Chains A and B, each alone.
Chain A
């Protein structure tokens, strides 16, 4: 079964879409690929695409994110070149999430330790609040 994947580079990644494209071509993947401003759109058989995603992650394990896309690259039904311009479907949300990717890349690289207060955070009881107020106002 065919699948289309978006490979999105985190803005903090040292890679460029072109470098990623050349890497996949060099590895001999027989896929339809399109360079975009945020990464690549890749189309092919599902196993081949998944293999390409794994191979791409070898270059930057925490800086490449992927998700399936419905339409193939350059599909005339949504391609703005054939529709005479117009909105780029799903771009606002993608743009919003791409802004968050450097934070996520860093968090995946160094997840850190659970802080003690995270587990203890809870709603303040009225009784406790009353005692705090008494102490403060005393």
Chain B
């Protein structure tokens, strides 16, 4: 099953979803396909006009281009997802390379899709880490294949 992870570039979530036998929808892979496109050669602009147009499906034209560009990449991933694992206290999803509004929009789209969503938190101690792993494992086993 294809599982959307939030933050979409999370190492921990990608590893856990893959370890428990599902396919994580990862931002790295989605961007990898784009940066191998010969039409794209000047980062930090790692999006094309097509992505911005695709983003219009999820946000209005007045939305900042950063939100639209992110939604052009993340929106189709949310649409492909059959389940999702979300970390609630992911502070690094917002900052120099993240966008709070795009994150809110992604979480809103996930809720609207009505797919099974598990919400967890980054652990601070051993017991919380065990609880996180147990909850993710139980959720993913319950999804079937």
Tell whether A pairs with B. yes
Interface residues of A (CB under 8 A from B): 2-4, 6, 8, 65-71, 75, 77-78, 87, 89-90, 92-94, 96-98, 100-101, 103-104, 106-108, 110-112, 114, 118
Q: B28 within 8 Å of A by Cβ?
A: yes
Contacts A93-B92, A111-B133 known; A69 to B32 CB distance under 8 Å?
Answer: yes
Q: Which of B56-64, B100-108, B110-118, B119-127 contacts A (4 or more CB under 8 A)?
A: B119-127
Contacts A92-B95, A93-B9, A100-B122 known; A68 to B133 CB distance under 8 Å?
Answer: no
Contacts A78-B43, A90-B97 known; A106 to B92 CB distance under 8 Å?
Answer: no
**B32-A68 in contact (CB<8A):** yes
Q: Which residues of B contact A78 (CB under 8 A)?
A: 43
Chain A to chain B contacts (Cβ below 8 Å), 5 pairs: A67-B14, A101-B12, A103-B125, A108-B133, A114-B134
Interface residues of B (CB under 8 A from A): 7, 9-12, 14-16, 18-19, 26-29, 31-32, 34-36, 41-43, 46, 91-93, 95-97, 122-123, 125-126, 128-134, 137
**In the docked arrangement, what's the CA distance between A111 and B132, Å?**
9
Shortest A13–chain B CB gap in Å is 13
Closest to A92 in B: B92
Closest to A97 in B: B11
Q: Which residues of B contact A98 (CB under 8 A)?
A: 11
Q: Which residues of A contact B27 (CB under 8 A)?
A: 70
State the 4 A-B residue pairs at the shortest beta-carbon distance, nearest first: A70-B31, A68-B28, A103-B129, A93-B92
Q: Which residues of B contact A93 (CB under 8 A)?
A: 7, 9-10, 92-93, 97
Closest to B42 in A: A77
Which residue in A75, A100, A111 is a CB contact (below 8 Å) of B123?
A: A100
Closest to B12 in A: A97
Shortest A120–chain B CB gap in Å is 14
**A107-B11 in contact (CB<8A):** no
Which residue in B11, B16, B96 is a CB contact (below 8 Å) of A94?
A: B11
**In the docked arrangement, what's the CA distance between A94 and B7, Å?**
12
